[in-house]
Amino acid sequence: MHNSPGKAANSRHGFTLIELLVVISIIAVLMSLILPAVQNARQAARRTQCLNRNRQIGLALHAYASKNKNNQFPAYGVWGDAKTSSGSWTTGRSALRNWVVDILSELDRQDIYDRWNFEDKHDGTVNGPGGINNGELIEEYNMSILKCPDDQSADVGTGVLSYVVNVGYANIDTSGLVPGRGGWTGGSNIHLSTDTDLDFNLAGGANDTEDMIISQRSGVLWEMIIDHDGSGAPAPAKNASQRVDSIYDGSSNTLLVSENINAGASQYWGDPRAKICTFVYPLDTLNVTGSATGLTAADYYNTAPLDPRYPFAVINGALSGPEEIRPFPNSNHTGGVTVSMCDGSAKFMSEDIDLRIYAHLITPSGTKASTLVGAQAILESNNL
């Protein structure tokens, strides 16, 4: 006997409402398991990409130092007279360029380096001879190697910079990195190796010769000042940055490059202002005034007490910004930041690192606090 077509049709049925809800629930559970894994994988990929970019910058800085006749790292910022369109020179310390410009060749951007006007300001406001406006050049070339993939503020403008260099210990103004004490002076926030307003040797006054020696020993990259004698001839340039062989604590134990998502939102990769292209470690100046009795100079330098006015001056301590006035290592990577060391290696540094260890990783000479001979030789070789 054969079933009738009507019976066969009646034997088929679709999903019930309960079955449909079960299937949807299973899919939802699977998505809740898969999406975090995908997000974590993407985050890890961005962190790896950032680490690679940081490493390339660190290697470029190291390559620059290796081919430099003094084996010096470039200055974090170059300041001096700028040439006007009439051919005369401005007076005072104009902001000319930062360390990024000096290593463009090592970053395989010789084309940009050749177009840079070295007699003009970084923002092109003077616009010296040659018709090349550095500000427009920065805006035109928004180089991806200078941006962390997780730095969202780097996506809103042009010429942005996510990576900053180590300029050591500092004293900064109480109102927040505005023109004032500690080398952040002159309206341009120059961090000077010879003007820290820190009494490193606790001798009763800041900025004596010994203070300058110790100050210059606390960071890796420093300023370079170029002045002209009125005829256009530059005076001998004074690059105060460390040499490769003056990293006494070991190049693998000294920070060179970090990232900072607060370095600026647009047109900054050539800007030499310290608050934009560097990171610092602010020391507690209360020890200078004598409030910490019984403290020796070696204790002050070795302990490196963090300035209590800036508790956020640590790794990922100022993630919320604001831009330009937080020159400290910050990133959107979970748990820390990517860094490059002075030997060219790169790693991920935890935000939970011991504060004293972090301070010692910043200074290239933390183990020579009681010996000034090495630093004195550096200063004399640089005519400081």
* DSSP string of 37-75, one letter each residue: HHHHHHHHHHHHHHHHHHHHHHHHHHHHHHHSTT-BPPP
Domain-located, residue 276:
yes
Domain-located, residue 21:
no
Higher pLDDT, 303 or 176: 303
Domain-located, residue 353:
yes
- pLDDT value, residue 111: 93
Nearest to 130 by CA among 141, 120, 140, 122: 120
Instruction: Indicate the number of domains in the chain.
Output: 1
Nearest to 171 by CA among 204, 199, 212: 199
- pLDDT value, residue 228: 66
Domain-located, residue 48:
no
What domain range is 375 assigned to?
53-381
Q: What angle do CA 302, 305, 310 make, to 5 degrees?
A: 145
- pLDDT value, residue 317: 94
Residue 384: pLDDT over 70: no
Residue 375: pLDDT over 80: no
Domain-located, residue 20:
no
**Mean pLDDT value of segment 116-129:** 82
Between CA 209 and CA 215 the distance in angstroms is: 10
Cβ-contact 254, 341 below 8 angstroms: yes
- pLDDT value, residue 179: 37
Domain-located, residue 34:
no
Whole-structure pTM over 0.85, yes or no?
Answer: no
- pLDDT value, residue 338: 97
Residue 4 pLDDT level (bands cut at 50, 70, 90): low
Residue 196: pLDDT over 50: yes
Which residues make beta-bridge pairs with 166?
279
- pLDDT value, residue 220: 95
- Structural tokens at position 222: 């420093």
Domain-located, residue 267:
yes
Domain-located, residue 36:
no
